[in-house]
Amino acid sequence: LQKKQMVQKSGLLELIDTPEKLENIGGLDALKEYLKKKAKIMHQLPKAEKFGVSIPKGVFIVGMPGCGKSLCAKATASLFETPLLKLDMGSMMGKYVGESESNLRKAIKIAEAAAPCVLWIDEIEKGFSGIGGHNDILTRMFGYFLSWMQDKKSSVYVIATANNADALPPELKRRGRFDEIFCVNLPNEEERKAIFDVHISKRKNNGRKREIKKDYDFESLIEETDGFNGADIESVVNEALE
């Protein structure tokens, strides 16, 4: 409770209460397996440390919008059984010189006090895309963030998500900051089927689960949805039910 108040009062981080589960993500199998392995470590940190396993730093997830990046960040917090703190890059930016920088330091401090937790930096490219230009404050903030990631000893697991990694400085993608980078693409046929499964099973029919195989012509659904992302597939299911 104390942690909750501390986070809310700061105005820099948002505490997200989420019921999302890894099972409700269709596709992204490699990423899901990876997160499950990290969960094992997060669930027994003292033992892992004693054994010489380093504390997981975090993961960088890049790719097409609507493909489940945010979903993964939320599901990770459930999987790790830790709070999820969302850092909004926009709210970091203060009006006064130096304010943004101290906001970032403050936000990181709060996250460390709330550890173990997942710190989700959504659309990190929006925050750090002006680096290298004339924006000194942004460059300093970025430097601070990088060195924090590099030296991090706390169990703040950072999940950064980005729709477009081109605009991001390469330092961010270098080893030693995040443990791993995952790219998510539009779902292939099998993944689309898995996403349909998730969304159809979620919506119950008279309290009974829909009999997916009987009610749906999967073959044509999958054929027709080439180029759709997960969010598109969800709205196909919703519209069909309506």
Number of residue whose CB is nearest ligand ADP:
230
Tell me: does residue 198 bind ligand ADP (CB under 6 A).
Answer: yes
Tell me: does residue 25 bind ligand ADP (CB under 6 A).
Answer: yes
User: Other C-beta atoms within 10 Å of 195: how many?
Assistant: 28
Length of the chain, please? 242
Cα-based torsion angle of the residue sequence 84, 181, 105, 37 in order, rounded to the nearest 10 degrees = 40
Residue from 195, 221, 222, 236 binding ligand ADP (CB under 6 A): 195
> For ligand ADP, which stretch binds (CB under 6 A), given 3-11, 25-33, 43-51, 77-85?
25-33
Tell me: does residue 27 bind ligand ADP (CB under 6 A).
Answer: yes
CA angle in degrees (0–180, nearest 5) for 31-86-88:
115
Half-sphere exposure of 33 (CA within 13 A, CB side): 4
State how far the Cα of 112 lies from the Cα of 157, in Å rounded to an integer: 10
With contact defined as beta carbons under 8 Å apart, do 162 and 123 qualify? Answer: yes
Nearer to ligand ADP, 136 or 190 (CB): 190
Tell me: does residue 221 bind ligand ADP (CB under 6 A).
Answer: no
Tell me: does residue 230 bind ligand ADP (CB under 6 A).
Answer: yes
User: Other C-beta atoms within 10 Å of 53: how many?
Assistant: 13
> For ligand ADP, which stretch binds (CB under 6 A), given 3-11, 23-31, 40-48, 82-90?
23-31
- Binding map of ligand ADP across residues 159-178, x = CB under 6 A, - = no contact: --x-----------------
Residue from 56, 58, 68, 127 binding ligand ADP (CB under 6 A): 68
Residue from 7, 38, 39, 69 binding ligand ADP (CB under 6 A): 69
Half-sphere exposure of 110 (CA within 13 A, CB side): 26
